[in-house]
Structure 1
């Protein structure tokens, strides 16, 4: 299971995502460009003391991420886009251990070509009165559901 952030805008959300992935022993992919300067030093600062236990990969752009997915992860790595325009509630979707959970930009989501590349598009059921929820909150909800379904939560000693 992996979490991927498409061109994140807010460094604090990146830091929270790194900590989330460290806590759930899930790899994190950052798809650039970001809306802020991204360096190893910035990632370490955002991750605080979770940096050593987080597995973070950054990709220079969407095409580089797709190449990584194809060449490194292989065909079983389905791309699952979390979107307010999703077709299936995440609770009705069947996740697999090799899935990549993709979150869009805080300011703009993802463009049509990214929507088209997704193997599935899911949404988190929320109140009709709410437009959306914070991207890290959505990532935590989605990742927890995917890990629950696949019985892949880390075992705490």
Structure 2
């Protein structure tokens, strides 16, 4: 299932590892098939598999050798799941008074995308919005990096920047754009949830026209020799600062 075209056509994706599979089940996502290597399962994982099989979930059993060869993890836990994907529309996102979203414009690295989803989950954010052509949140690297948070955080897609900005305006969402050239440091800005922290692609950042249309522009001060931060790290820095400044920040 490494092919995005295949995932789109079939509407399913692969989740590997006891914790992410358990989180998918607990969140009520549709698990089509559990793929297991009985000899590799922990007692807890074996109990999960037995419970789901008793409820009618199909279980495919492999040898430990075959599962290990197919796994993309070191020391595989012996359990994976084929899960049916979900489609969340922008207007399906719940915009509560204290809601905070992470918005990724044309992000290309699925690992970064998955890490941002995990960070939004950790900080109590309301969701993630992907703008334009982006990495696939159901790509193996994104699913792995999310560590199961993909099943707790709504991920919606906006076809382009205009669609996102229109949604933000209709719902009274403050758009906070990140830029190394902004005048305000991220720790001194005035955040007014509901808001969306807007981050650009790994290589190019946000285009000037999108920066100009944001309600607020902030920068993360760089005092060392590094020219920039990893996208997911930058998202975490700003999101936690928003949480510190905005006491009503909640999912």
Tell me the TM-score range normalised by the shorter chain: 0.7 to 0.9
Q: 1:111 maps to which residue?
A: 207
Q: 1:29 maps to which residue?
A: 129
Q: 2:101 maps to which residue?
A: 2
CA-atom RMSD, angstroms? 2.1
SS in 2 for 1:3: strand
Question: 1:98 offset after TM fit, Å?
Answer: 1.1
TM-score, normalised with respect to structure 1 = 0.85
Unaligned runs of 5+ in 2: 1-99
Q: Which has the higher contact order (CA 8 A, sep 6+)?
A: 1
SS in 1 for 2:187: helix
Q: 2:155 maps to which residue?
A: 56
Q: For 1:12-52, what per-residue CA distance to the aligned partner results, in whole angstroms no more than 9, with x for missing partners?
A: 00000111111222111111212x4x36x338735342122
SS in 2 for 1:92: coil
Q: 2:219 maps to which residue?
A: 123
CA radius of gyration, larger in: 2
Q: 2: distance between equivalents of 1:103 and 1:31?
A: 10
Question: 1:152 offset after TM fit, Å?
Answer: 4.4
Unaligned runs of 5+ in 1: none
Q: 2:166 maps to which residue?
A: 67
Q: 2:6 maps to which residue?
A: none
Q: 1:85 maps to which residue?
A: 181
Question: 1:147 offset after TM fit, Å?
Answer: 0.4
Match of 2:193 among 97, 112, 125: 97
Q: 2: distance between equivalents of 1:119 and 1:66?
A: 10
Q: For 1:50-109, what per-residue CA distance to the aligned partner results, in whole angstroms no more than 9, with x for missing partners?
A: 1221121111111121222223x22xx111111111111111112122121111110101
Q: 2:242 maps to which residue?
A: 146
Aligned residues of 1:5 and 1:102 also touching (Cα < 8 A): yes
Larger displacement relative to structure 2 (146-155 or 62-71): 146-155
Number of equivalent positions: 149
Aligned residues of 2:174 and 2:193 also touching (Cα < 8 A): no
Aligned residues of 1:22 and 1:55 also touching (Cα < 8 A): no
Q: 2: distance between equivalents of 1:120 and 1:70?
A: 14
TM-score, normalised with respect to structure 2 = 0.55
